[in-house]
């Protein structure tokens, strides 16, 4: 039964019934007072919807018209993407690799054969992705990493074309466009590699594993199959400092070898971690906290230059400190390549000074 609500336009449409029925067991009868909040919010303008509604679905709904060549994609890639993903999309330095692990046979079958073997060390993006819309959508919405949503549709077509060229899906002279993208979908190496037949999509789905609640003599033989290797004992730093220093459960002091025997309760009074003086937050912590480490590493080039490279470049430059402080605050581009250094307006002058001093000192 449809409620009759002359004053509320929305509620008179066929869409309105039932939307709230599930959450309220004490739901009022269908013919009831109009819901007093039904006119909350305001209508979105077409320009607003266009600005935000950028998603592209597997049926290509939402895909803007345009085109881009492999060659243009390669040029863009080298400028904007290679620093994180490697020249051939092979880099595992910052993120998992984009390309590799697929063959021309996979393009024919639509199933990536290396997914069944243990030999392939890394599962790359192209090995897994079944839908080209996914690549297009993500590059357009979220890339490059430190300047999301800065690419045009044409640039996005070009970059997707280049990635597929790296994977031998399209030839070197290929131009990807909204007109031929559906055809290219028919060549995606793992287009037949997904299943949605499982019980983990809805609450009512059927689980695939069945255990029984046995209570006595359930295991013939209890065998330990895997333990943490000795070398990893302190890999997560001193566990004594990651637990409370009172109460019955303390952290193991992983800076020392395991105890040879049970220590007895008397040992509980020995404070495990407080001997180490609290570390004052230095420039290295600041560097991490302010997220500089997302783009700069101590010695290796990530998105931006390494700390060592910066220190080297400005060695002996008289006003380096002031120059860099200004750059950090206001951002800049062109000195280290095309990827801009974003402005850091949130940084206090004191923190800026500390950070620049530390960088110019090679991170020491």
Contact 159, 73 (CB under 8 A): yes
Question: Which residues, numbered 23-62, are part of the site for another protein (CB under 8 A)?
Answer: 23, 35, 37-44, 48-49, 52-55, 57-59
List 251, 332, 337, 340, residue binding another protein (CB under 8 A):
251
Binding letters toward another protein, positions 155-194, x by CB under 8 A:
-----------------------------------x--xx
- Give the Å distances, CA to CA, from 337 to 55, 77, 91: 30, 13, 19
Closest distance to another protein from the beta carbon of 104 (Å): 18
List 5, 16, 78, 354, residue binding another protein (CB under 8 A):
16
Question: Which residues, numbered 284-313, are part of the site for another protein (CB under 8 A)?
Answer: 288, 291, 293-294, 302
Q: Six-digit token pair at 160?
A: 């997707």
> Exposed, middle or buried by CB within 10 Å (0-12, 13-18, 19+), for 103?
middle
List 5, 110, 111, 329, residue binding another protein (CB under 8 A):
111
Closest distance to another protein from the beta carbon of 202 (Å): 6
> Exposed, middle or buried by CB within 10 Å (0-12, 13-18, 19+), for 126?
buried
Query: Interface with another protein includes 7 (CB under 8 A)?
Result: no
Closer residue to another protein (CB): 223 or 280: 223
- Contacts of 190 by beta carbon, 8 Å cutoff, 6+ apart: 102, 106, 110, 111, 112, 115, 126, 127, 128, 129, 130
Query: Interface with another protein includes 113 (CB under 8 A)?
Result: yes
Q: How many residues bind another protein (CB under 8 A)?
A: 127
Closer residue to another protein (CB): 238 or 321: 238
Query: Interface with another protein includes 1 (CB under 8 A)?
Result: no
List 4, 259, 281, 299, residue binding another protein (CB under 8 A):
259
List 32, 152, 180, 242, residue binding another protein (CB under 8 A):
242
Alpha-carbon gap, residue 159 to 71, rounded angstroms: 9
List 90, 168, 241, 351, residue binding another protein (CB under 8 A):
241
> What DSSP character marks residue 206?
P
- Residue in 38, 93, 36 with CA at minimum distance from that of residue 302: 93
Query: Interface with another protein includes 254 (CB under 8 A)?
Result: yes
Alpha-carbon gap, residue 158 to 337, rounded angstroms: 20
């Amino acid at each position: 039964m449809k409620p009759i609500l002359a004053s509320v336009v929305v509620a008179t449409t066929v869409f309105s019934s039932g939307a709230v029925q599930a959450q309220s067991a004490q739901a009022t009868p269908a013919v009831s007072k109009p819901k007093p909040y039904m006119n909350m919010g305001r209508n979105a303008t077409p320009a607003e919807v266009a600005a935000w509604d950028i998603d592209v679905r597997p049926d290509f709904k939402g895909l803007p018209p345009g085109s881009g060549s492999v060659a243009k994609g390669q040029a863009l890639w080298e400028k904007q993407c290679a620093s994180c993903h490697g020249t051939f999309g092979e880099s595992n330095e910052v993120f998992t690799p984009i390309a590799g692990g697929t063959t021309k046979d996979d393009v024919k079958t639509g199933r990536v054969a290396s997914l069944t073997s243990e030999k392939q060390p890394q599962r790359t993006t192209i090995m897994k992705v079944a839908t080209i819309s996914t690549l297009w959508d993500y590059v357009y919405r979220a890339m490059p990493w430190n300047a999301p949503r800065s690419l045009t549709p044409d640039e996005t077509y070009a970059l997707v074309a280049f990635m597929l060229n790296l994977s031998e899906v399209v030839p070197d002279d290929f131009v990807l466009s909204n007109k031929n993208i559906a055809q290219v979908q028919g060549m995606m190496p793992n287009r037949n590699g997904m299943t949605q037949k499982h019980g983990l999509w809805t609450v009512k789905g059927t689980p695939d594993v069945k255990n029984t609640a046995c209570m006595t003599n359930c295991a013939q033989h209890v065998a330990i199959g895997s333990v943490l290797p000795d070398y990893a004992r302190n890999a997560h730093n001193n566990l004594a400092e990651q637990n409370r220093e009172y109460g019955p459960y303390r952290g193991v002091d992983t800076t020392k070898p395991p105890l040879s025997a049970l220590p007895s309760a008397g040992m509980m009074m020995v404070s495990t971690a407080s001997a180490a003086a609290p570390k004052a937050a230095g420039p290295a912590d600041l560097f991490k906290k302010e997220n500089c480490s997302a783009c700069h590493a101590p010695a290796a080039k990530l998105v931006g230059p390494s700390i060592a490279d910066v220190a080297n470049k400005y060695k002996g430059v008289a006003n380096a400190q002031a120059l860099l402080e200004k750059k950090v605050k206001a951002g800049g581009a062109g000195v280290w390549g095309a990827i801009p250094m974003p402005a850091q307006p949130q940084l206090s002058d004191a923190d800026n000074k500390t950070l620049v001093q530390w960088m110019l000192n090679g991170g020491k």
